[in-house]
Amino acid sequence: MSEQPVALVTGAATGIGAACARQLCAEGFRVGVHYRSSAEKAKKLLAELPGAFGIQADLTVSEEVDGLMGRLKEEAGTVDVLVNNAGYNINAPMLAMKLEQYDAVAAMARGTWYLSKGVLRRFMLRKNRGRIINISSVVGHTGNPGQVPYTMVKAGLDAFTKSLAQELAGREILVNSVAPGFIDTEMTEELPDEVKAAILARIPQGRMGRAEEVADAVAFLATRGHYVNGSVLHVNGGMYGG
């Protein structure tokens, strides 16, 4: 195996995940592009990134996460940086949401926990170094109507970050969150114009962020930020400062 550092980005086929994969590749990492169902988009991204490799898995299924860990070992031999970006959302008022819809959103938190545990045990703890970067959200701090399970999961990611950082105290394994605000992605492109206008009115910088701006924050934590640990880095144009 090469000594090139390896970064695994979950949900990397589109949006913020794809931007993180590109930026980490530019920083010198060999990038693992994880995806669940966006195979064609992942294939196109992999063609852009020298040395990158793809891994398909449903992170809500523990057996598939175990399989992912085995493929990581075979393909790369190590993981130096884990970016927990994969997420899922269903928009609906709480009183109209069904339990199975809640479970589908909340299951991603379990997947993040289980994958992080596996990467720590199999790779980072053996070397006593590494970085775990969790992509949370501004709505985990401000709330957002119609997104009760999603905001719960994102707030929980930041609590997960702070608790795990304390558990790993004394090791060179740093755990941080990046909490994006409203970012111009495929998801926000589909919003009605009046919804976009209401969002922009809440952002002091007067525009949505770019996925690349979130990726810049991730790259900083992955490569520099040596004394940043257990923190939430907000990237939201000033709409919330923590």
* Chain segment 35-54, per-residue pLDDT in tens: 998 899 999 999 999 999 99
Does residue 1 carry a pLDDT above 60? no
Q: Is 150 a catalytic residue?
A: yes
Q: Which of 102, 150, 227, 240 is catalytic?
A: 150
Percent of all residues in the chain with a pLDDT value above 70, rounded to a whole number: 99
HEC string for 74-136: HHCCCCCEEEECCCCCCCCCHHHCCHHHHHHHHHHHHHHHHHHHHHHHHHHHHHCEEEEEEEC
pLDDT digit string (tens) for 79-107? 999 999 999 999 899 999 999 999 999 99
Q: Which domains does the chain have, with CATH numbers?
A: 6-183+210-235 (3.40.50.720)
**Rounded (5°) CA angle 80-223-178:** 90
Which are the contacts of 42, defined by CB distance < 8 A and separation ≥ 6? 12, 13, 33, 35, 54, 56
Three-class DSSP category at 61? coil
Which pLDDT does position 5 carry in this prediction?
A: 97
Amino acid in the structure at residue 165: A
User: What confidence tier does 195 reach under pLDDT thresholds 50, 70, 90?
Assistant: confident
Which pLDDT does position 12 carry in this prediction?
A: 97
pLDDT digit string (tens) for 122-169? 999 999 999 999 999 999 999 989 999 999 999 999 999 999 999 999
Three-class DSSP category at 54? strand
Which are the contacts of 47, defined by CB distance < 8 A and separation ≥ 6? none
Which pLDDT does position 194 carry in this prediction?
A: 84
